[in-house]
Amino acid sequence: MKVKLDKVCKRIYAGGDVPKDRYSTVMTSEYTVPIYANAEKDDGLYGYTDTARENELSITVAARGTIGFTAIRREPFLPVVRLITVVPDVTKVSERYLYYALRSCKPTSSGTSIPQLTVPDIKKNEIELYSLPVQEKIADKLDVVVRIIALRQQELQRLDDLVKARFVELFGDMFLNFEEWNEAPLESLADIVSGITKGRKVSEKHLIKVPYMAVSNVKEGYIDWTTVKTIEATEQEINQYRLLPDDVLMTEGGDPDKLGRGAIIKTPLENCIHQNHIFRVRLDETHILPVYFAEYLQHQRAKRYFLGCAKQTTGIASINMRQLKALPVLIPPLDLQNQFAAFVTQTDKSKVIEAINKANTLFNITLNGGNRYDIRANEF
């Protein structure tokens, strides 16, 4: 039986402002109550205060920045900056089962603003309400799946570290630029477009349902194909926003340390387009190769630029089209870029990424009670 989340919870609410006059960045004898905000780093810990708003077992969900980052809170705390707090009725729902269900919540709001989760989004989400013993069994299986995903992500990180080391070997110190390579704004090296806006008004009656890349699909360095939404678009919109192999997708906002994250889309689905919170960068490959540019985005030279010009609020930062177009890009010789591309191909992260996507799919199936078998890490 499916029920809405507000039927199995005591309360669901969003955090308020940081108490500026009763706040410390470190724990003191006076300030011992943790403050949590919308962030993944340090489990969202923002600082400490002297008064808790929530004293019961709770689950918090990041509503902005790293949307959907979820944590179980077992001690009194103060949620701030729109961090969503969910207090389960443990006579109806296991906190572990609910924790995993909340990890799967996606923002349903649309428009031109940066995506965010809201309390109404959470309240109207539905979960399968099994008996408490069955919920615990599902949570046990999900524990295994999450460990598998963590192991594969560690493996992916090791491969990323190898790629970064080779990047430094070939291109040296990009801040000092000893080779005195040319530098140019990104707009002179690529065609850059924002995407389609969900909920826009369309006068044309003939609409075509097509795949639709959302912010949640774009990770740092790879595309997550676990859940791909669809949208109805006109033929003109499909032609305008259709993704091609080797396009680089970039998100406009998120946690400050993830600002400007991007990934190459190698094999887009047929007629796949992208939402307005994603920038599509189509490079002139006579000057810049996608594999070089995608790694350049993860370099501190690019990250410092984005942080320097981004609009920032507590726990979230964003860039606009003008700032992205002005991104200064170093242009190494193509033979060096080709050497780097060959190394990345040899490293081959695709199998690890495929395993992560497969495990994420299994997570969704298991959460909905669809997996009746034991889960073993060596299957992934």
Reply yes or no on whether the pLDDT at 140 is more than 60.
yes
d(C-alpha 290, C-alpha 313), whole Å: 31
How do the domains of the chain map onto residue ranges?
A: 2-129, 130-160+334-380, 182-331
DSSP string, 257-314: GGTT-EEEESSPPTT-EEBTTEEEEEE-TTT--HHHHHHHHTSHHHHHHHHHH-EEET
Q: What is the pLDDT of residue 315?
A: 63
- Contact (CB, 8 A) for 274 and 196: yes
Asked whether this chain's domains 2-129 and 182-331 adopt the same fold, the reply is yes
DSSP string, 45-78: EEEEES--SB-S-EEEE--SSSTT-EEEE-S-BE
Section 162-175 average pLDDT:
93
- Under CATH, which architecture does the 182-331 domain have? Alpha-Beta Complex (3.90)
Section 78-106 average pLDDT:
92
The alpha helices in the chain, defined as continuous H runs, are 95-103, 119-124, 132-171, 235-241, 290-297, 300-309, 321-325, 334-347, 350-367
- Contact (CB, 8 A) for 99 and 72: yes
Section 125-149 average pLDDT:
92
Q: Which residues contact 9 (CB under 8 A, 6 or more apart)?
A: 86, 87, 88, 89, 93, 98
Topology given in CATH for the domain delimited by 2-129: Adenine-n6-DNA-methyltransferase TaqI; Chain A, domain 2 (3.90.220)
- Per-residue pLDDT tens digits for 237-263: 999 999 999 999 998 876 776 777 889
Residue 144's pLDDT band (boundaries 50, 70, 90)? Answer: very high
